[in-house]
Chains A and B, each alone.
Chain A
Amino acid sequence: MYPTDRRYTKEHEWVVLEDDGRALVGITEYAQEQLGDVVFIDLPKPGSKLAQNEKLGEVESVKAVSDLFSPVSGEVAEVNRELLDHPEMINEDPNSKGWMVRLASVAPADVQGLMSAEQYEEYLASLG
């Protein structure tokens, strides 16, 4: 079951709006499962401006490298530096401790335009 407090992309990222209007971004349970053990992560510098769907960073598992894409436009306010030393947190807790970046200057409409948990689950089902 995917948390309903957030929105999802076809690239298997989630974004959740916080009370102050900023947004947390991470990858989904499905994504971490597909990746397998995450051993390396590359995140953007705070202050970077990202357009929606622009490359945000890289996540690397034992097997392969995957690009991360920004689900919405915004400015990087903070990155989860704990992941640099403990990338396994992405596998262990993708929905909360495994968050990757906090974005400021996010347009709520961008977030609303993404898939709901229910739509994301339907999308996963369509992948077979």
Chain B
Amino acid sequence: MTQHLSRTALYDTHVALDGRMVPFAGWEMPLQFQGILAEARAVRATAGLFDVSHMGRIWLRGAQAADLLDWVTTADVPSVALNRARYTLVCNEAGGIIDDCIFYRLGDQEYLLIANAANRDAVWSWLQRWRTDRFPSVELDDRTLDVGMIAFQGPQTPALLDRVAPGLADELRPFRCAQTKVAGVEALVGRTGYTGEDGFEIMPAMSDAPKLWSLLQELGAVPCGLGARDVLRLEAGLLLHGTDMDVDRNPIEAGLERFVALDSESVCVEALRSIQRSGPAQRLAGFQMVGRGIARHGYAIFSRGETVGEVTSGGYSPTLDRSIGLGYVASELAPLGSRLSIDIRGKLVDAETVALPFYSRRRA
């Protein structure tokens, strides 16, 4: 069976840059250009560029837009001011995580919700269902194919952006957004990202994405692929939906309580209050390997000879030069310093729980 893969407007750019293209959530995306570790290091040291146009971009408009978003997410949406962005979870009635998203408040009655590529359809259906049921006046508009998205990440990005959009970096504090021009190209710019580094996510018309990409590359930003993105987000302790959490996990056990407004009415709030009261049986913990080896998704976690959980993400951290990972463990083992062992292809290797994030940038 051949799978039909979508391509972003940057496909030709990636191929011209010798990107190694791979299927990802129905899209043909670059896994790497010069190399995963070199790209990850560039983002930590200078500036990197990622094509994230495959992610879903869904607009909600109308008098009930805030109410619909408030209902399907864990955020207190009406409290979010104009031109602000917020990380949130889209959950079902049981508190299961349908997706993790960022939304931007673009107007009094206008929001933009960014969904993971793999969950775009699920998020869309969930929005449609509640629109039909409770908030019929909301206009939903999936503009994923019309609007591109480039993540521009790294400590040098504010200075570099200043050359093509003077004053913008100063104006945009973290988790703010503005409709503006970058080197003459109309774009929505948010000071957001998924790398643990300072940076911006820039959304021009899809047809302008190649022009903007070349421009940012000329400023010195290094093209980066999905591989580097995964390394960077793990170092920053950022979860990946479908890997570290899914519809069978809830935000409490995933360690995302701080993104749950338990006093704001929503489809999931009753379930989450109850989980919060009783305490989850397992919690997501960060760990580092004490022995030699790399933990990978799906490996069993042991403590005192018993299986206590499972690795969800693991890898080598180039920034810390250490082998790190995330996994669900029995809640009593989640606190720092718990001794664990990971079954690495039949060999038990020592690990210990550590604080998240593994890496945090120095703030100016």
Contact = CB atoms under 8 A, between A and B. Distances in A.
A associates with B = yes
A42 B346 CA distance: 14
Given A62-B227, A62-B231, A40 B35 contact: no
Nearest to B31: A63
Given A62-B37, A62-B315, A63-B36, A36 B227 contact: yes
Please provide the 3 A-B residue pairs with the shortest distance between their CB atoms, ordered closest to farther. Answer: A39-B316, A37-B37, A62-B36
Nearest to B36: A62
A57 B20 CA distance: 27
Interface stretch (B72-80, B100-108, B290-298): B290-298
Interface residues of B, number: 16
Contacts of B293: 40, 42
Interface string A11-30: 00000000000000000000
A37 B323 contact: no
* Interface majority SS (helix, strand, loop, mixed), chain B: mixed
B32 interface: yes
B363 interface: no
B36 A36 contact: yes
B318 to A, nearest CB: 8
21 contacts: A36-B32, A36-B36, A37-B35, A37-B36, A37-B37, A39-B37, A39-B294, A39-B315, A40-B292, A40-B293, A40-B294, A40-B316, A42-B293, A58-B345, A62-B36, A62-B227, A63-B31, A63-B36, A65-B294, A88-B37, A91-B35
Contacts, number: 36
A86 to B, nearest CB: 11
A60 interface: yes
Nearest to B20: A36
B37 A60 contact: no
Contacts of A88: 37
A5 B36 CA distance: 32
Given A36-B32, A36-B227, A37-B35, A62 B316 contact: yes
Interface in A54-99: 58, 60, 62-63, 65, 84, 88, 91
Given A37-B37, A40-B323, A65 B32 contact: no
A91 B36 CA distance: 12
A63 B227 contact: yes
A62 B226 CA distance: 12
By CB atoms of chain B within 10 A, which of A40, A62, A63, A65 has the most?
Answer: A62
Contact of B294 (A36, A37, A60, A91): A60
A36 B292 contact: no
Interface in B228-244: 231
A65 B345 contact: yes
A57 to B, nearest CB: 12
Contact of B296 (A37, A65, A91): A65
A71 to B, nearest CB: 22
A53 to B, nearest CB: 19
Contacts of A91: 35
Given A40-B323, A63-B227, 16 more contacts: A36-B32, A36-B36, A37-B36, A37-B38, A39-B37, A40-B292, A40-B293, A42-B292, A58-B345, A62-B227, A62-B316, A63-B31, A65-B296, A65-B345, A88-B37, A91-B35
